[in-house]
Amino acid sequence: MNDIMIIANPSAGKKRAEELAEKVRVALGEHNREAQIRLTEKKEDISNFAIDAARKHYRSIIVLGGDGTVSELANGLVDQEYKPSIGIIPAGTINNIARGLNISVDPDEAVRYLTACREQIADAGKINGQHFLSSISAGSLPETVWEVSDEQKERYGTAAYFIEGIRTLREEECYNFNMEVDGVSHSKKLSLLLIGASHSVTGIPNFFNDAEVDDGYLYMLGIEESTIKEKLSIFSQLLSRKTTLNESQEKAFVLPFKQAEIKTDHSDVHVAIDGEKGPSFPAHVEVLPGFLTFLVPSGKS
């Protein structure tokens, strides 16, 4: 069995990915681990390298990049009978997948955790044949995700999303969603529909406070047509976690579920998957329990 493949996206981490990949290789070598570095030149390389690692039975894959890079790697492993464990060195803008696994978003600190880590099984979500590890979303706010340019991400980091999000709050558009969630029908007019696979969403730890990465559920947040003041109240409550959202908000709800059929009467509405533009509706969404195994810091849960 081969030991470790390091996959690095050279454009990630403010162009530090190659430097970080070498730091990972050296750190692992000091613990008698053998690692090979593979640098991506195009998006397809990520999944192709992952497939190669699975077929050659590498013990682990260490990936350097953001949520899009990690998600692309996971999709490359979908049809593989053997799946290596995955370590993440966060080098993107939000790094939500890493946050959900309690991995430090400081790349240098993340390098150090790989020398003392444990395995953590994690669920994934699936929408219309595509897999996600963090979240999917639709509505006015999610559209800002792909309106943020790579140049804006590089220059402003997380603030780029905040700037676009504030602008969109003033230009709200709601969509009619017809959903069957675990066999129960719901009809809602929403400005935001968000589904997460772990507690961390959009870089906010414990966004879904009851969620665990391996609990066998996805978590849905819906926000109905509301004023800016009402939205700020909803998000403030999500962050404070002082009361249950469903008990105190008429304009929002949180719902754990295993599978859902979601339709909308707006044909041009797309889903954002782990921060990237995804499919349009209708959508079949389901949880995939224990889909992948990640390397996480020892002592954290």
- 205 or 151, which is more confident: 205
Do residue 250 and residue 159 come from a single domain? yes
Say whether both 152 and 208 belong to one domain. Answer: yes
Residues 173 and 277 in one domain: yes
The parent domain of residue 177 ranges over 132-289
The residue-averaged pLDDT of 130-135 equals 91
Q: pLDDT: is 118 or 146 the higher one?
A: 118
**pTM for the whole structure:** 0.83
Query: Residues 201, 262: one domain?
Result: yes
Q: Are residues 202 and 74 in the same domain?
A: no
Burial 4-40 (b: 16+ CB within 10 A, else e): bbbbbbeebbeebbbebbebbbebbeeeebebebbeb
Residue-averaged pLDDT of the chain: 84
- Lowest average pLDDT, out of 166-170, 241-245, 276-280, goes to 241-245
Burial label, 167 (beta-carbon count in 10 A; 0-12, 13-18, 19+): exposed
Q: Which residues of 67-85 are buried (b: 16+ CB within 10 A; e: fewer)?
A: bbbbbbbbbbbbeeeebbb
When pLDDT is cut at 50, 70 and 90, the band that residue 167 belongs to is low
Q: Give 224-239 as a DSSP string.
A: ES--HHHHHHHHHHHH
pLDDT computed for residue 146 by the predictor: 42
User: Could you tell me if 105 and 183 lie in one domain?
Assistant: no
Look at the chain and report how many structural domains it folds into: 2
Q: Quick one: average pLDDT of 161-170?
A: 56
> Is the pLDDT score of 166 beyond 60?
no
Q: Is the pLDDT of residue 95 over 70?
A: yes
* Among the ranges given (34-43, 137-146, 167-176), the one the predictor scored with the smallest mean pLDDT: 137-146
200-258, pLDDT tens digit by residue?
876 677 778 888 999 999 999 998 877 777 777 776 776 665 545 555 567 888 899 99
DSSP string, 26-72: HHHHTTT--EEEEE-SSHHHHHHHHHHHHHTT-SEEEEEE-HHHHHH
Amino acid residing at 280: S
- Model confidence at 14, pLDDT cuts 50, 70, 90, reads low
Q: Say whether both 269 and 235 belong to one domain.
A: yes
pLDDT over threshold 90, residue 88: yes
Same domain, 168 and 275: yes
Return the closest-CA partner of residue 194 out of 144, 156, 158: 144
User: Is the model more confident about 207 or about 184?
Assistant: 184
Q: Check whether residue 139 and residue 277 sit in a common domain.
A: yes
pLDDT at 170: 59
**Average pLDDT value for residue range 149-160:** 55
Percent of the chain with pLDDT over 70: 81
CA distance 210 to 214: 12
Whichever domain contains 139, its CATH number is 2.60.200.40
For residue 227, what pLDDT is reported? 75
**What integer pLDDT is reported at residue 155 of this predicted model?**
60
* Residue 271 clears pLDDT 50, i.e. is over it: yes
Per DSSP bridges, beta strands 276-280 and 252-257 are: unpaired
β-bridge partners, 196: 135, 219
pLDDT at residue number 226: 77
Q: Give me the pLDDT at residue 243, please.
A: 46
Residue written as token pair 């613990």: 31
Pair (137, 267) in one structural domain? yes
CA pair distance 284, 291, nearest whole angstrom? 18
CB-based contact 100:300 (threshold 8 Å): no
- Residues 6 or more apart in contact with residue 140 via CB below 8 angstroms: 168, 171, 172, 173, 174, 191, 192
Confidence of residue 273 (pLDDT cuts 50, 70, 90): confident
Terminal Cα-to-Cα distance of the chain (whole angstroms): 29
Residues 253 and 285 in one domain: yes
User: Which pLDDT score, from 0 to 100, does residue 145 have?
Assistant: 47
Q: What is the CATH number of the domain that holds 103?
A: 3.40.50.10330
The Cβ of residue 276 has, within 10 Å, a number of other Cβ atoms equal to 17
Residues 138 and 24 in one domain: no
Structure tokens at 289: 């329990």
